[in-house]
Structure 1
Amino acid sequence: MTEYRGLLFDLDGTLVDSVADICAAVNHMLLLIGLPSLREDAVRRMIGDGLPKLAERALEAAGGDMSTLAEFTMGVSSYYQEHAADHTACFPNVFATLQYLYERGIRLGVVTNKPVSATRIILRSLELSDFIDVVVGGDSLPVRKPDPAPVIEAVRLLGISPEHILMVGDSAHDVDAAFGAGIKSVAVTYGYHRSPPSSFNADHLIDSFEDLLAIVLQIAPIVPFDKAYTKL
């Protein structure tokens, strides 16, 4: 059985539920330019390809003037930078599972299409920063997932052979990027996916974040976690 020494995670829809803050940033700008706000479920389906694509989808969905996209994107980014962690929270048992893995010597990283600055704000706010060794964001390289380059860079920074690393995410982009980087993948069935996770062809499929323990450490998930591993 493979010994995993490192894990890479997508952020939005995998570690954290961030749709409320993303939606607020989009609607702030839409209202400023006199356009109708978008429902949270509509914005949720726009997440996953980075801020520029999110802004493009939102402006188009609201019937905006696409010639103003650059200014709109900048406005969404600026507002989001100030409010990235207002309502964002970890999905159930994320904090406890990351702590448990970290304390057992598993190196952890984040590979996201979100800008690095906003990613670090969220990780600090949710007290996850101490567990995360590597962050590769949507502005770290010229390309984003599903291109494998961000995952390849994160593998390099972890300093662990690819065969001993897993990529965990909620979208086909995460699985495709992992495959291109030569590492195995885990798809979560919750999150912001736009197609069924069973169609991603991931190496593993899990319903709950703590199910990672059975894959990585070959132990049964600890549910409920001992209170020592629960963020108060």
Structure 2
Amino acid sequence: MAGGAGRKPRGILFDKDGTLFDYHGTWGPILVEAAEMAARERRDLVPEMLSVIGFDPATARVAAGSIAGAGDTFGLVDAWITIAGGWERAALIAALDGLFIRLAPERSLPVTDLPVFFRGLKDREIRTGIATNDVAESARATILRFGLETYIEFSAGYDSGHGQKPGPGMALAFCAAVGLAPHEIAVVGDNSHDLEMGRRAGAALNIGVLTGTSGRDDLAPLADHVIGSIAELPALLDELGG
């Protein structure tokens, strides 16, 4: 486990999908629809397109650390464009991002009552933000869809100009936005790239959750704590004195 396991955070930066929202239930159907759109009339290509990004249609599960589980639109496009063919790269990026902006907010399945959860963090005077490898507009729309705009002070996507995970840019931008130093924040996520972002940024705490694509063994080497879901986070904060 990483260092800093006993420090209480003044700010918490959350991953979105797999952390606040059940990953498989939310993104499995969206990825199938995205592959069908990218394949156009060649539906026979869809199984290969899903396999190459780490999605198994038979189980509707996404592999830990895969393009589907940890990547961004750039990764999807680079994996699919040579299979599907007939696309300009920029056009496929735009088409996929448009699909995600439309579908993700309305189909996201929260892992707990998010307004109650974030209200509890605000009552503790903890500043909160979201960092996702999804498109930024999708993240903003999801925040509004679930009535979280009162609580979440920062959100960033892969296209926000801070770089993509596992780079530290989004975590450092969160710190700048809320006026905290990296050693005063925690990062919570379901994938190694979330925790790597936190470690590279110098976050005090990196907390893994099991509501996404990764198992405990995947997360433990990078995490100070691994919990079942964010619903267990208040109890952990109590243990840390937060």
Using the size of structure 1 for normalisation, the TM-score is 0.81
Say which of 16, 19, 29 aligns to 2:27. Answer: 19
The higher relative CO (CA closer than 8 Å, separation ≥ 6) is in 2
* Letter in structure 2 aligned against 1:11: K
- Does the CA-based 8 Å contact 2:20-2:110 persist in structure 1? yes
- Does the CA-based 8 Å contact 2:30-2:104 persist in structure 1? yes
Distance in 1, matches of 2:39 and 2:165, equals 30
Name the CA shift for 1:81/1:25 in 2 (closer, same or farther; >3 Å). Answer: farther
* Letter in structure 1 aligned against 2:18: G
Distance in 1, matches of 2:120 and 2:69, equals 29
- The alpha carbon displacement at 1:43 in A equals 8.6
Partner-residue secondary structure (3-state), 1:79: helix
Matched, 1:168 2:188: yes
Trace 1:157-196 onto structure 2 (pairs within 5 A).
157-183=177-203, 184-193=205-214, 196=217
Partner-residue secondary structure (3-state), 1:212: helix
Distance in 1, matches of 2:229 and 2:216, equals 18
The answer for unaligned runs of 5 or more in structure 1 is: 221-232
Distance in 2, matches of 1:43 and 1:74, equals 25
* Letter in structure 2 aligned against 1:16: F
Name the CA shift for 1:104/1:49 in 2 (closer, same or farther; >3 Å). Answer: same
- Does the CA-based 8 Å contact 1:56-1:73 persist in structure 2? no
User: Deviations for 1:14-57, whole angstroms, at most 9, x for unmatched residues?
Assistant: 11133146325413413534234443435995132211212333
Say which of 5, 24, 32 aligns to 2:40. Answer: 32
* Letter in structure 1 aligned against 2:145: S
2:231 aligned residue: 210
Trace 1:1-232 onto structure 2 (pairs within 5 A).
2-17=7-22, 18-20=26-28, 22-23=30-31, 25-30=33-38, 32-36=40-44, 37=46, 38=50, 39=57, 40-41=60-61, 45=66, 46-59=68-81, 63-65=83-85, 68-141=88-161, 143-183=163-203, 184-193=205-214, 196-218=217-239
Partner-residue secondary structure (3-state), 1:85: helix
- The alpha carbon displacement at 1:93 in A equals 4.3
Distance in 1, matches of 2:61 and 2:81, equals 16
* Letter in structure 2 aligned against 1:121: A
Q: Identity of aligned pairs, percent?
A: 23
Distance in 2, matches of 1:180 and 1:127, equals 31
* Letter in structure 1 aligned against 2:121: L
Distance in 2, matches of 1:101 and 1:140, equals 25
Name the CA shift for 1:137/1:198 in 2 (closer, same or farther; >3 Å). Answer: closer
* Letter in structure 1 aligned against 2:206: S
Distance in 1, matches of 2:39 and 2:71, equals 23
User: Deviations for 1:163-201, whole angstroms, at most 9, x for unmatched residues?
Assistant: 221000011111111111111200112202388434442
Distance in 2, matches of 1:43 and 1:218, equals 32
Using the size of structure 2 for normalisation, the TM-score is 0.78
CA-based RMSD of the aligned residues comes to: 2.7
- Does the CA-based 8 Å contact 1:21-1:84 persist in structure 2? no
Distance in 1, matches of 2:159 and 2:87, equals 23
Partner-residue secondary structure (3-state), 1:89: coil
The answer for unaligned runs of 5 or more in structure 2 is: 1-5, 51-56
